[in-house]
């Protein structure tokens, strides 16, 4: 009970903000989106904030509060940045909450729904795939796009790719790390690129950090990418991301 009381107190008084990391179109060499990243002074690891919220049955509250704040702030920024989409992580249980569709369809967000990509978080098991498919279908009708985050990291990613039919797949940083040196990674990424082209799925390679990783990614047909060499997460300033 002491640990739970501590979690309640931390969640009640937690102040948080967001950083934004660019996603690049490597063919046109322009920013096509930003991933929003949760930050709080009370948590070195942002995931622990959501774990604490889950422990006291407030995960939906924190997840939607964070999403609302990120979307509200980003909408002002979007007017400056030519419609680059906002990529925001969301837990499967949040999507499945009966209140979520009404939350995302709020009048406040209506004008920006087509600029939102919801990344389904890998950190929570999807227990009801059929219900999630129905929610995803409803969300797509509003203009919201759906992404699978950290693809290749989870044990059932192939099943989710087939069943959920995402608009976007974000390939885990494992594949970009030393991809210029590891032939097996290159072959697998090449095959994933082919699959995504065939089924009209946008593929984003995460975690690119070196010029040679970036070069081989382009050779393999990667059009969209994210990583420190392309841009680090930063806060919003008056003129956009600093």
- Record the pTM: 0.91
Averaged pLDDT, 150-160:
92
Closest by Cα among 165, 129, 162, 163 to 147? 165
- Does 64 or 240 have the greater pLDDT score? 64
Q: DSSP labels for 151-213?
A: ETSSTTHHHHHHHH--SEEEE-HHHHTTTTT-HHHHHHHHHHHHHHHHTT-EEEE----SHHH
pLDDT value of position 78: 62
Averaged pLDDT, 76-80:
63
pLDDT digits (tens, 9 = 90+) for 116-144: 999 998 888 888 999 999 999 999 999 99
pLDDT value of position 42: 84
Share of the chain above pLDDT 70, in %: 90
pLDDT digits (tens, 9 = 90+) for 162-181: 999 999 999 999 999 999 99
pLDDT digits (tens, 9 = 90+) for 43-65: 889 999 999 999 999 999 999 99
Q: Read off the pLDDT band of 73 (50, 70, 90).
A: confident
The burial class, CB within 10 Å (0-12 / 13-18 / 19+), for 107 is: exposed
State the Cα–Cα distance between residues 226 and 217, nearest whole angstrom.
11
β 224-225/16-25 pair status:
antiparallel
Dihedral, 45, 92, 114, 230 alpha carbons, nearest 10: 30
Question: From the CB of residue 100, how many other CB atoms can be counted at a distance below 10 Å?
Answer: 21
For the record, the structure tokens of 79 come out as 């007017």
Query: 85 forms bridges with which residues in the sheet?
Result: 33
pLDDT value of position 242: 45
Tokens 């797509």 label which residue? 140
pLDDT value of position 157: 93
pLDDT digits (tens, 9 = 90+) for 193-202: 999 999 999 9
Contacts of 54 (CB under 8 A, 6+ apart): none
pLDDT value of position 127: 85
DSSP letter for 234, please. Answer: B
Averaged pLDDT, 217-236:
95
pLDDT value of position 100: 95
Q: Read off the pLDDT band of 82 (50, 70, 90).
A: low
Q: Is the pLDDT of residue 107 over 80?
A: no
pLDDT value of position 74: 84
pLDDT value of position 79: 57
State the Cα–Cα distance between residues 90 and 12, nearest whole angstrom.
20
Which residue ranges make up each domain of the chain?
2-241
pLDDT value of position 138: 94
The phi and psi torsions of 153 (rounded to 5 degrees) equal: -95, -30
pLDDT value of position 2: 39
Choosing among 1.10.287.540, 3.40.50.720, 3.20.20.450, 1.10.150.20, the CATH entry for 2-241 is 3.20.20.450
Tokens 């009970």 label which residue? 1
């Amino acid at each position: 009970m002491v640990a739970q009381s501590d979690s309640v107190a931390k969640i009640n008084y937690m102040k948080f903000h967001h950083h934004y990391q660019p996603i690049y179109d490597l063919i046109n060499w322009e920013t096509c989106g930003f991933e929003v990243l949760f930050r709080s002074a009370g948590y070195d690891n942002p995931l622990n904030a959501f774990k604490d919220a889950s422990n006291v049955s407030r995960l939906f509250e924190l997840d939607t509060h964070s999403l609302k704040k990120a979307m509200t702030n980003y909408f002002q920024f979007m007017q400056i940045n030519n419609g680059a989409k906002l990529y925001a992580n969301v837990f499967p249980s949040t999507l499945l909450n009966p209140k979520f569709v009404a939350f995302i369809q709020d009048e406040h967000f209506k004008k920006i729904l087509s600029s939102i990509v919801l990344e389904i978080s890998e950190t929570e098991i999807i227990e009801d795939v059929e219900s999630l498919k129905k929610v995803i279908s409803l969300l797509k009708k509003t203009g919201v796009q759906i992404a699978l985050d950290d693809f290749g990291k989870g044990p059932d990613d192939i099943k989710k790719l087939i069943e959920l039919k995402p608009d976007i797949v974000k390939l885990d940083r494992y594949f970009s790390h030393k991809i210029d040196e590891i032939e097996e990674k290159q072959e697998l990424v090449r095959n994933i690129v082919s699959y995504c082209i065939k089924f009209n799925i946008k593929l984003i390679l995460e975690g690119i950090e070196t010029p040679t990783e970036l070069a081989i990614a382009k050779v393999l047909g990667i059009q969209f990418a994210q990583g420190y060499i392309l841009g680090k997460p930063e806060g919003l300033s008056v003129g956009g991301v600093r």
